Structure 1
């Protein structure tokens, strides 16, 4: 904890990482599914989702500014609610990121099949 963090990333790098983390591979899969259920109202649904997630994003940015240390979600929850809940939040974040990678591969497979003209066995 005594080592100071190096601030090597500029605004473009941070924005690219943040957008990639938020959008992920879901942008290729979910809009079609959402369009089946909501039709043209899907635009309103996405706007509503953005409005609902905005307070959480702003809160996390405030915590990152107030506590400029490595640790992310674990650190914020641990400082506010104790080490047990901090550990639960940290492990939960780890699992969500692990599953996100797997789901990105599953979601990306149909695109590989389509663009690379790979044979598919049913």
Structure 2
């Protein structure tokens, strides 16, 4: 499993939790992604369809908890990683950067 988005432990990431039509934006840090071993997948075998069994684990801190999520990677690009939890729930992660407008306004203040 190759993750295309650069992941650094000292970096903040924009996080969006989605459940069907509901969406909650947030922020997280110390993001890690690891592939589940066959032993870690075993508990899920009887609960869900074979194609819905989680394949990876995402670990991160948000401002409330240390979170550990098991799911399948739905989208894997250089600027976004989306984890499908099943049942319509998903988490989207992307690097946290200032908007171009904010960068331009700060630059103009120094000119």
Same fold at TM > 0.5 = no
Query: Greater strand share, 1 or 2?
Result: 2
Query: Greater helix share, 1 or 2?
Result: 1
Q: TM-score range by the shorter chain?
A: under 0.3
Larger Rg: 1
Q: Give me the TM-score of the superposition, normalised by structure 1.
A: 0.23
